[in-house]
Amino acid sequence: MTAVAPLLRSASLVLLAALLAACGGGQTPPVAPPSAGTAADQSGGHDDHDDHNTSPSSTTIADAQAEAAGIVVAAVGPGTIADEHDVQGLLAPVDGRTAQVTARFPGPVRALRANVGDRVRAGQALASIESNLSLTTYSVAAPISGVVLSRQVQVGAVAGEGQVLFDIGDLSQLWVDLHIFGADTQHIMAGVPVTVTRMTDGVSQSTMLERVLPGTATASQSTVARAIVLNSDGLWRPGAAVRARIVVASTPAALVVPLSALQTLDGQEVVFVREAQTYTARTVQLGARDAQQVEVISGLTAGEQVVVQQSYVIKADIGKAGAAHEH
């Protein structure tokens, strides 16, 4: 027994050591925290990704290139927004400024001294007719100065008493009969400004609406508003169609920009502000507008230089820069 006891104690110590060793080997070693460099790398990688997805909003264009591209800038400032109506109409001679030349006595026409389109003066002889009553020749004169609009007789023809030989019109002024439709007829009235434009060459003339005629044109169911244009160049021709813009009212605005300044970038309306040779897209909040300009409620301040012509060139240049940035 004395010899066995030490052996049992030795065996127990060996078994205990083995069990402790087994338990120690099963523990999971602690994980080292990430180094400062690793965290910075991760943060830096995230920022690069954000920069990659951010589109540029400005571009730099040298003055010479901008001038060659037709880019024009102007200072932002106050203006007016007009309540305008675009209509069409026809030119016509003014009543009281036309006259007919007639034969006083019946007889054959011996001579004609004017053709259509000729300018004549009051008292100028236009025709000679041999009277069947007296067998003498008498002259027929122009009652007013103007342009010969029509000639309705030929040499050798027999003119009847009172027959119209010529129509003469003083075309130094013409009526513009503008056709107004629908609800517009309720608030367009005499005295408001109107700009009349020739369709042949785009020349415009500013005048006033003289009157709105009573009644309604049967064929078109329109109301006729009438203005007068001056015809000093003779190119406003009776019967020709014209365009006109009637300004019913004007509202002042603290800041306005022309419609040509507006572009859409990333789904927002922007204008391009120039500082030195840099053009930057500026998001703007817009208000009322008319056919030429729009009110700016926020996004700009008075005096800033905004691209007002060829703004699409700036947009295209920014778009190219964005495409290069994505690659």
- Based on the domain organization, do 105 and 135 belong to the same domain? yes
Confidence at residue 166, expressed as pLDDT on a 0 to 100 scale: 98
Q: Which of 142, 169, 196 is the last residue of a domain?
A: 169
Confidence at residue 83, expressed as pLDDT on a 0 to 100 scale: 86
- Parent domain of 154: 99-169
- In this structure, the strands spanning 293-298 and 241-258 are antiparallel
- Based on the domain organization, do 310 and 164 belong to the same domain? no
- Based on the domain organization, do 220 and 118 belong to the same domain? no
Long-range contacts of 180-189 (CB under 8 A, 24+ apart): 180/85, 180/87, 180/212, 180/222, 180/223, 180/224, 180/225, 181/220, 181/221, 181/222, 181/223, 184/85, 184/87, 185/212, 185/223, 187/248, 188/85, 188/212, 188/225, 188/246, 188/248
Q: Which of 169, 185, 208 is the last residue of a domain?
A: 169
Q: What is the pLDDT of residues 140-190, one digit of tens each?
A: 999 999 999 999 999 999 999 999 999 999 999 999 999 998 877 777 889
Give the pair of three-digit tokens for residue 40.
């910075």
Residues 6 or more apart in contact with residue 170 via CB below 8 angstroms: 93, 94, 97, 98, 144, 145, 146, 147
This prediction has a pTM of: 0.60
Q: Are 56 and 320 in contact (CB under 8 A)?
A: no
Q: Is residue 25 part of a domain?
A: no
Residues 6 or more apart in contact with residue 94 via CB below 8 angstroms: 170, 173, 174, 175, 228
- Based on the domain organization, do 88 and 221 belong to the same domain? yes
Cα distances (angstroms) measured from residue 218 to each of 85, 214, 222, 257, 327: 22, 12, 8, 42, 66
Confidence of residue 314 (pLDDT cuts 50, 70, 90): very high
Q: Is residue 15 part of a domain?
A: no
Cα distances (angstroms) measured from residue 199 to each of 64, 93, 146, 194, 300: 36, 18, 24, 16, 37
Q: What is the pLDDT of residues 212-261, one digit of tens each?
A: 998 887 777 889 999 999 998 899 999 999 999 998 888 999 999 999 99
Average of per-residue pLDDT across 84-109: 94
Residue 283's domain is classified under what CATH number?
2.40.420.20
- Based on the domain organization, do 192 and 73 belong to the same domain? no
- Based on the domain organization, do 64 and 153 belong to the same domain? no
- In this structure, the strands spanning 285-289 and 293-298 are antiparallel
- Based on the domain organization, do 266 and 312 belong to the same domain? yes
Q: Are 171 and 231 in contact (CB under 8 A)?
A: yes
Q: Is residue 41 part of a domain?
A: no
Q: Which of 251, 278, 310 is the last residue of a domain?
A: 251
- Tokens 């060829």 belong to 310
Q: Is residue 50 part of a domain?
A: no
- In this structure, the strands spanning 305-309 and 223-230 are unpaired
Q: Is residue 32 part of a domain?
A: no
Give the pair of three-digit tokens for residue 54.
């951010």
- Based on the domain organization, do 88 and 205 belong to the same domain? yes
- Based on the domain organization, do 260 and 314 belong to the same domain? yes
Q: Is residue 67 part of a domain?
A: yes
Average of per-residue pLDDT across 30-59: 47
- Based on the domain organization, do 247 and 269 belong to the same domain? no
Residue 247's domain is classified under what CATH number?
2.40.30.170
Q: What is the pLDDT of residues 55-80, one digit of tens each?
A: 568 999 999 999 999 999 999 999 99
Residue 141's domain is classified under what CATH number?
2.40.50.100
Degrees to nearest 5, angle at CA 251 with 210 and 296:
140
| CA atoms of 237 and 210, how far apart (whole Å) | 19
| CA atoms of 177 and 245, how far apart (whole Å) | 13
Q: Is residue 263 part of a domain?
A: yes
Confidence of residue 15 (pLDDT cuts 50, 70, 90): very low
Q: Is residue 53 part of a domain?
A: no
Per the structure, the count of domains in the chain is 3
- Based on the domain organization, do 286 and 241 belong to the same domain? no
- Based on the domain organization, do 245 and 285 belong to the same domain? no
Average of per-residue pLDDT across 263-283: 95
- Tokens 């951010």 belong to 54
